[in-house]
A and B are shown apart, each in its own frame.
Chain A
């Protein structure tokens, strides 16, 4: 069974600080996606990384896919209260299935 382990589980920081959250697996993924979920809402897709070693930037967010395609990281620069939320990574299940496997997420709180 493919598993995606996310760390840390909880992270509370002050506005303006930088942070990195991680998504790790013992399995190779053809791609990984990052989502942000706010309380009472569904996840919203932030980015998809496909190529090993790939780096994608979305304003203050930087996403990296590991060379071996087993891990990914999300770095946020100068965090703002609006970045508060649950960050989830997800990848396609093996065998060509259409289903996504999700990690349990990192719950980020950015205090003003």
Chain B
């Protein structure tokens, strides 16, 4: 049973280019979350999606960033016109359902995409 798959593992872009990060959740998981991790910083929530719906995008910058989770295929985090400050590790996580108040729900993280903007 494959885990959460993210690709590419490393992505290098020049300022002004577009970055597309892909995430395939675990089999049977319909909830996808994107987090960003900067050096010496904790993981910061960006967006929460279910199939074909953005549920919570309160952590995502209003400009240049977008996310989708189509009916078929992986979730995509898209960053347009990248700047040096976008350099970070981007992690995707998935779960079968929400509900953090129980002991049964688990969040599984992928290995991340390290984005470097030159």
A contact residues around B42 at 8 Å (CB) = 4, 88, 102-105
- Interchain CB contact under 8 A, A104 and B111: no
Q: Which chain B positions have C-beta within 8 A of A100?
A: 33, 43, 45, 100, 107
Cross-interface CB contact of A97 among B56, B102, B109, cutoff 8 Å? B56
Binary interface profile of A, 45-74, with partner B (CB < 8 Å = 1, else 0)?
Answer: 100101000000000000000000000000
Question: Per DSSP, are chain B's interface residues mostly helix, strand or loop, or mixed?
Answer: loop
Q: Which of A11-19, A36-44, A75-83 contacts B (4 or more CB under 8 A)?
A: A36-44
Are A40 and B33 in contact, CB atoms less than 8 angstroms apart?
no
Residues of B with C-beta under 8 A to A40: 111-112, 114
**Size of A's binding interface in residues, CB under 8 A:** 26
Inter-chain contact B110/A42, CB cutoff 8 Å: yes
By beta carbon, the residue of chain B nearest A4 is: B42
User: In the assembled complex, which residues on chain A have CB atoms less than 8 Å from the CB atom of B41?
Assistant: 104
**A41 and B103 in contact, given A99-B56, A105-B42 (Cβ under 8 angstroms):** no
A45 close to B106 (CB less than 8 A): yes
Is there an interface contact between B43 and A41, defined as CB atoms closer than 8 Å?
no
Contacting residues of chain B (43-76) with chain A, CB-CB under 8 angstroms: 43-45, 48, 55-56, 58-59
Residue of A nearest to B3 (CB): A42
Q: Is the CB of B107 within 8 A of A45?
A: yes
Q: Is the CB of B45 within 8 A of A41?
A: no
State the A residues within 8 Å of B (CB).
Answer: 4, 30-31, 33, 40-45, 48, 50, 88, 90-93, 97-105
